Each structure stands twice: as C-alpha cells, then as structure tokens.
Structure 1
C-alpha cells in the first residue's frame, strides 16, 4: 500500500489535538485540507479513523490503533532530526581514525587533544594498525580515514599529504666506535641491525631504498614496535633504525646516540587517506581542519 507520509502527519496532529481546526493552524493549511486529507487516508486504509462527538473529533478503535504506531514513528523521526542537528552543531558524533602506534604517539596526539578540548562531545576512536591494515579497515568502513606511509596507489582512495618524517640510526655506547664520525651508509650493515618487521610500510620503503644503492640488509632483530627498537638499542643489542621523534627522549638523556651517516635516509611521507566514494562526516571534516598544510 502506497500512502503519502504527509497524510500520516496530518492524521497525527489532528488526533493529538482532537480538532481539525487546531491541526490546520499548526500545519498552516485550511481546515478543509485537513478534512480531505483524513478522508483520503481513511479511503486508503479502508477504515473510519474519526467520529464526531460534539465539537471534538474522537478516534475510533482503528484510529487509536493507528495513532499508537504513527506516534512512535513520528517521535523516532523527531529524534533523528534532533540528533542530526546535534551532529551538525558538533554536539554529537564520532570520528574513527586508523593510525599506527608510532603515528599516534608522536604526531597525532596534539591534534586529538586540541580537537577534544573544543569538541568534548565528539567521540574519538583510534585503531592502531599497520598502513596496509589501515587501508583494509578503510575499505571495509571500519574507519573514516587513516594516516599511513605513502605511497598509496589505489583509484578508490583519496590521498593528501600529512607530513614528512625522518628515520635515523641510533646505538648505545657499546658501539662507541661509531661516535663522532660519519660512516658510509653501506657500512651500517657491518653491525647488528634492529629494524621493524617486513610487513610494515616503513620497512618495505627502507628495503627498496637500500636495494637501490646496492645494499642487502639482514637485520639481527625485527620488531613491530619502534619504541621497543629504541629500548633494545639502549641495552646494546644493536644499531636501531627508528623514527627520529621516537628516540629524542633517550638521545637527550644520552642513553643512546645518533649514528651519523654520509648519506641520509630519505624522508618518509605520511598521508591521510579516505574513500573517494564516501563523504566524510561533519566531525571528521572538522578534525581535518586542525591539520595544517593539507
């Protein structure tokens, strides 16, 4: 049965006010239009909905039954309208972000803090995964956007640059022969290397770079966590390749030192990815405004 929802709205207001004239004033239409609409609805449903009792329009049993369900639907719609208004006013909503633990810890936290201060009612969900896993989360609708290591080559994905980051080599004084000198990058392979696991985008990019200069790297230890790489370097297990920001605290405390190389490792680009076919929510769009140089 195809019934115009506007008819249910007119019926609802007429039933609640028990008056066609009162409903007409609320709807800014004539009393005759209300009467005709109710008659049209009755014809569609094949049931009498109102009966006149003096000056009042009283619901029949069928009318009472219909009102019970229409009122619930009407309230659901009003609630939905209210929630949408809250979202538009940033009084409700959520953002779902995919990012690695390292990106969250050293680059994302300041933006999250500022956003949360201004919009405390917006829920923030962060899922820590590798870049390739974040891409899958995005495609499956689990996150709204992700921050990953570039490049990302996918026609369905929108990519914008976030920032450049620098990887460095660090070691403890166990490798004091590397202090205060600058060595050829190829010679770094003479030492036990501590690196991220092969399934990370960072490691894959480093492998590609080393192969481009004719160097095959075989790490002594591979880990998932950059912070663990720093910890392992501090206790002398090898020379670690880490994000510069992750090593700053230990460098300042002189627990480790930066191994200087004649050829600097290339900077890595971090980017923000989202689905081209899925518009970002109001909250996600607002969060993007906090990120400069996009």
Structure 2
C-alpha cells in the first residue's frame, strides 16, 4: 500500500474533478503523468477504475468503491492537519494532574485559576488521590504531574517545592473544657484522654504524625481515622474530638475562635509541598508550560 499512496492521491483528484486535464492543473503535473499513474494503480489492483470518453472519465463500480475510501482518508488527513494548526495557533493541549482533595482545594485551585486564565485552551484533568497513589500514577505514566507532600524518597521524581505546611492539633474550646471536667485534672494527658482524629494510615501525613508520636513517646488511646482532611476539620469544628490538621488550612477558624490549638509535646517540623513529575520523561509542550508557570511564580 505504501507504494500506492501517491497514486491514490492522483486517483482521488481525478475522481473528484472527473477530468484528467483539470486534475493535472490542480496537481501541477502533466496529463501523461496522470494517465500513467491511473494505469499503474489499475494494474496494481487488477481492476478498471475509470471509463473514458470525449467528455472526461467516469468511475467504474470498483472505482466508486475505492473513491469512498480515499475520499474519507484524505478528509481525515486534512482534518488532522487543521487540528495540528489549531493546536499550534491556540496552544491546545492536555495536562493530567494528581493531587489529594485537600491540597487541591487549598493549593492547586489558586494555581489553576491563574494558569487557565493564561492558557484557556489547555485541558486539565484532575485525579484526586493520596500522595502514595499519586506517586504510583506518576510511575505508571497515568498522570503527567502531581501536587504532593514531599516523600522521604523521590525515586526518579523531579520535585519542585511551592509551599511549606505545618501540622497541628485543634479542637473546640467547649470540647477541651468538657474533657478537662471529665478528667478532673488540669495536667491530664490530652493525647491519651481525647478522641484523637487522624487521617488514615494510607496517608503520608498520618505516617509523619505516627513518626512524631514514636519520637516523643506519645501514647494514644481513642483514635478516629478519617480519609479526608476537610471532613476531619468539620468533625473538629462540631466538637467530636482533637483533630490533627494542617494549620494553614484552619487559619480562619483559629482566628475566629471556632477552633483552638491544642498544646503538644514539641513543635512538629514543617514539611514541603510541591509539584512532582517523572525525571526521566520528556515533558509535553503543555506540561512544560505548566512547569514554567509555577516556577516563575516562586
């Protein structure tokens, strides 16, 4: 078939205009070259494609069948060319981003708002997953980039920090007052006595806090696991217990007094959050625009 591609183009043009001389003018080749190409194609296919008379050429039954396919094929190619031109002119592209629902709400959306305003024709797909799942999706090339809390090992991942986050424990004042009444001791162990609300064990934040507990020998008793920090924050706000949250994400609640910070053994070290993508993969044009965009903002 590869040897016939140029012949198909000539055949398709002759079939459309119904005249060899007109086809020769459109294709900028001689009439004998047109006739020779048609004869060659008929020889290759072992069929007659045109009947000829003084008024021009007409497709045979086999010629009509072939024309239906060549017409569709060349229309598809033309559409492809137009699509490529539009992509280049408008900057059309696609970026797949992996991110947890919490980081998406508090960090990614502000970035996307400005990025989409600058590049409105780039399609963005969001896959909300934990950091571990996002890293797995990156490794399997199912997403282009992820917004994650920096893991201990990057494993062939390029990481660009965009913010620092600080974990803390919060509760309502009412919950803490009632807890103090139940314990009847001003020096009770909050972590051992309270209903402690943490993200589930599949979350990198939970692993970070568990390591903190081990380092400072913190004992816990009643733990409520939640797989979403927004829910954890809401549970803390209704007085269900002491929640471990990212302090920046409850800044308004702490300022208004809806939540108070619960004292803990020692300060929890801040962590980096940033964008990560496969180090050994060549970024697409759209992804490179996104990378350049967030790097320029820092």
Q: Under a length normalisation based on structure 2, what TM-score does the superposition of the two structures give?
A: 0.80
In the alignment, which residue of structure 2 is the partner of 1:44? 44
Deviations 1:155-212 (A, max 9, x none): 56444434332222222224369xxxxxxxxx76345232211110111122234434
Q: Is the contact between residue 195 and residue 219 of structure 1 (CA under 8 Å) also seen in structure 2?
A: no
Q: Is the contact between residue 19 and residue 57 of structure 2 (CA under 8 Å) also seen in structure 1?
A: yes
Distance in 2 (alpha carbons) for counterparts of 1:50 and 1:152? 71
1:266 to 259, 264, 269: 269
In the alignment, which residue of structure 2 is the partner of 1:67? 67
Quick one: structure 1 residues 219 and 122, their matched pair in 2 at CA, closer, same or farther if it must change by over 3 Å?
A: farther
Quick one: structure 1 residues 161 and 23, their matched pair in 2 at CA, closer, same or farther if it must change by over 3 Å?
A: farther
In structure 2, the residue corresponding to 1:266 is in which secondary structure? coil
Q: Is the contact between residue 97 and residue 127 of structure 1 (CA under 8 Å) also seen in structure 2?
A: yes
Distance in 1 (alpha carbons) for counterparts of 2:66 and 2:152? 55
1:277 positional shift: 6.2
The 5 Å alignment of 1:187-226 reads 189-190=191-192, 192=194, 193-215=196-218, 220-226=223-229
Q: Which runs of 5+ in 2 are unaligned?
A: 179-188
Judge which range, 249-258 or 28-37, deviates more: 28-37
Deviations 1:5-56 (A, max 9, x none): 2322222123212334443444444444433333332222112223332252
Q: Is the contact between residue 193 and residue 221 of structure 2 (CA under 8 Å) also seen in structure 1?
A: no
Quick one: structure 1 residues 252 and 119, their matched pair in 2 at CA, closer, same or farther if it must change by over 3 Å?
A: same
Structure 1 or 2: larger helix share?
A: 2
In structure 1, the residue corresponding to 2:198 is in which secondary structure? strand
Judge which range, 24-33 or 251-260, deviates more: 24-33
Q: Is the contact between residue 87 and residue 282 of structure 1 (CA under 8 Å) also seen in structure 2?
A: no
Distance in 2 (alpha carbons) for counterparts of 1:228 and 1:146? 22
Task: Spell out structure 1 runs of 4+ moving beyond 6 A.
Answer: none
Distance in 2 (alpha carbons) for counterparts of 1:276 and 1:23? 52
Q: Is the contact between residue 223 and residue 229 of structure 1 (CA under 8 Å) also seen in structure 2?
A: yes
Judge which range, 24-33 or 230-239, deviates more: 24-33
The 5 Å alignment of 1:23-42 reads 23-42=23-42
Quick one: structure 1 residues 223 and 46, their matched pair in 2 at CA, closer, same or farther if it must change by over 3 Å?
A: same
Q: Is the contact between residue 163 and residue 271 of structure 1 (CA under 8 Å) also seen in structure 2?
A: yes
Figure out how many residues of one structure are paired with residues of the other and give that number: 286
In the alignment, which residue of structure 2 is the partner of 1:250? 253
The answer as to 2:103 corresponding to 1:103 is yes
Q: Under a length normalisation based on structure 1, what TM-score does the superposition of the two structures give?
A: 0.81
In structure 2, the residue corresponding to 1:220 is in which secondary structure? strand
1:222 positional shift: 1.8
Q: Which runs of 5+ in 1 are unaligned?
A: 178-186
In the alignment, which residue of structure 2 is the partner of 1:181? none
The answer as to 2:148 corresponding to 1:115 is no
In the alignment, which residue of structure 2 is the partner of 1:129? 129
